[in-house]
């Protein structure tokens, strides 16, 4: 009889312990604080760590992997996934990209185009395109994309815009029946660049044939100029 009482006492004590433990765990789990796991895929490593820890979670890098579509030191995979409700204090596991490297873009605006190779030397940055636009700063870089201090993936190119002398268009004047001195004065007055080739001339006497590289009334760039071929007019012309 005594043994039976002891056995019953032990049984009820054990049962009480199990029931107490069950309800204790249930209450603890029910009242444990939960948070929403942030989306850190594509984020830079330090920024991702800061976001995770700000939610009361811990952060752990599982490994690095080579990726060409995600920049170096940026998150490629996370677990738990983004926007999943999880317990506060849980560890977020991440995989990090091992490349390509992100490179800072130097300041190129204002530099001479002929110094471009010197500036970009050993920076692993290539020039993808050079676009020339009319601007008073001839031969100088007037704009760039990406801008200075932004970053670009290794192997990617930048585009630069270079100033080119604006064209100054003029109408070809009528040089008919003008002597050589008048022709020169007229072209100089209009700031037209010119080159004169004298063909079979003996002195400045007589009448001349003038053949211009631009016909009368034609439109051309005054700075590119024109060429005049001047020869003596024969008696039968």
Interval 92-141: pLDDT, tens: 999 999 988 888 999 999 999 999 988 888 788 899 999 999 898 999 99
Statement: residue 45 has pLDDT above 50: yes
- Quick one: pLDDT band at residue 237, thresholds 50, 70, 90? very low
In this prediction, residues 136-160 reach a mean pLDDT of: 91
C-alpha Rg value of the chain to the nearest Å: 41
Phi-psi region of 83 (alpha: psi -120 to 50; beta: other; left: phi over 0): left
Question: Which range (106-120, 127-141, 207-221, 222-236) has the least confidence?
Answer: 222-236
pLDDT confidence of residue 198: 82
Percent of the chain with pLDDT over 90: 48
pTM: 0.49
- Quick one: pLDDT band at residue 158, thresholds 50, 70, 90? very high
pLDDT confidence of residue 220: 92
Statement: residue 170 has pLDDT above 80: yes
């Amino acid at each position: 009889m005594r043994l039976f009482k002891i056995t019953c006492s032990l049984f009820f004590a054990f049962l009480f312990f199990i029931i107490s433990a069950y309800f204790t765990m249930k209450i603890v789990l029910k009242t444990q604080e939960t948070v929403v796991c942030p989306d850190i895929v594509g984020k830079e490593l330090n920024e991702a760590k800061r976001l995770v820890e700000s939610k009361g979670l811990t952060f752990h890098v599982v490994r690095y992997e080579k990726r060409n579509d995600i920049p170096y030191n940026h998150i490629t995979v996370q677990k738990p996934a983004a926007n999943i409700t999880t317990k506060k204090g849980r560890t977020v596991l991440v995989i990090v990209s091992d490349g390509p490297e992100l490179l800072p873009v130097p300041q190129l605006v204002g530099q001479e185009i002929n110094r471009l190779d010197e500036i970009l030397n050993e920076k692993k940055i290539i020039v993808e395109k050079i676009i020339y636009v009319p601007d008073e700063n001839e031969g100088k870089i007037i704009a760039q994309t990406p801008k200075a201090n932004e970053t670009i993936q290794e192997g990617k190119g930048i585009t630069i815009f270079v100033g080119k002398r604006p064209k100054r268009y003029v109408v070809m004047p009528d040089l008919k029946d003008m002597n050589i001195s008048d022709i020169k004065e007229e072209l100089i007055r209009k700031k037209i660049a010119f080159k004169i080739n004298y063909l079979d001339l003996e002195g400045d006497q007589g009448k001349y044939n003038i053949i211009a590289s631009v016909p009368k009334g034609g439109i051309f760039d005054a700075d590119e100029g024109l060429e005049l071929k001047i020869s003596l007019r024969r008696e039968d012309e």
